[in-house]
Amino acid sequence: MADKKLFCANWKMNKTVEEALVYIKNLTTILKEEEFNAQDIIIFPNLCTIDSLWRTIGFYHYNIKLGGQNFYPVKSGAYTGETSIDILKSIGIEYFLIGHSERRHILGETQDFIDKKVLFAIENKVKIIYCFGEKLPDRKDNKIEEVIKQQLNVFNTIDLTNDIYFAYEPVWAIGTGIRATKQDITDMTTLVKDISKGKISKLIYGGSIDDKNVGELSNIKNISGYLVGSASLDPQKFAEIVRKG
């Protein structure tokens, strides 16, 4: 049997509790049990909906994992408005997104802070989806290698285990409808392999993936899944992505 692929639905700041529960009901009606079992599916919901989703998924034994979109890299304490890994683990979160472009470029997370999150997550033995990718000017100025090296630098000192996925998400492809080409993605797999001296192998792709274009990417060597934003908000589209990817 072919290796399982990873399909991540990043809901960002969308869906109320009711909408989230209706979504799960629809997704589990559209996809058959064997289709769920053939792949790994993780939903990254909004913080407030996680608990209800976790209870529903657990009650019906759906084969869906839950991920956290964010956490603050300390154990606990006086950090108003923030959430810890321990709190998220207590409501069923197994995976954590780190370095997403919206946290870097809209919420102001620096590479230093992102590195801290990586080290803290590893110390706390949780699974990571680490996002990285260049901006359009980096590409135009031939700076892709420099930027990616900087974003992956923290992993040089880390013994990489199976619990880290690396999501190549070029910033210019996120939410724009302009997906990276097969060649762009293949080039990135080679670059990452070179930079990491072969240590990084679990690569996924994100950026304007939808049910119409995912099929073209399905046979890229060394891409083991997708991180999907907008198209993952519609259970029908997300189910098609899981089928065709």
- For the annotated catalytic residues, the residue numbers are 100, 169
Report the alpha-carbon distance of residue 134 to residue 169 in Å, rounded. Answer: 8
Site for ligand PGA in 82-121 (CB under 6 A): none
Residue closer to ligand PGA, measured from CB, 206 or 225: 206
Whichever of 135 and 199 has its CB closer to ligand PGA, that residue is 135
Under rule CB under 6 A, residue 209 binds ligand PGA? yes
Element (H, E) at 166: strand 164-168
Which residue is listed with tokens 């990043």? 10
Answer for which of 6, 50, 126, 174 binds ligand PGA (CB under 6 A) is: 174
Residue nearest to ligand PGA (CB): 229
Instruction: Decide: is 214 part of the binding site for ligand PGA (CB under 6 A).
Output: no
- Residue 230 lies near ligand PGA (rule: CB under 6 A): yes
Place of tokens 């399982």: 4
Count the alpha carbons within 13 Å of 49 in the hemisphere toward its beta carbon. Answer: 23
Size of the site for ligand PGA (CB under 6 A): 13
Which alpha helices (DSSP H) does 99-181 contain, by range? 101-105, 111-123, 136-140, 144-152
- Count other Cβ atoms within 10 Å, centred on residue 215: 13
Interface positions with ligand PGA (CB under 6 A): 10, 169, 174-175, 206-209, 227-231
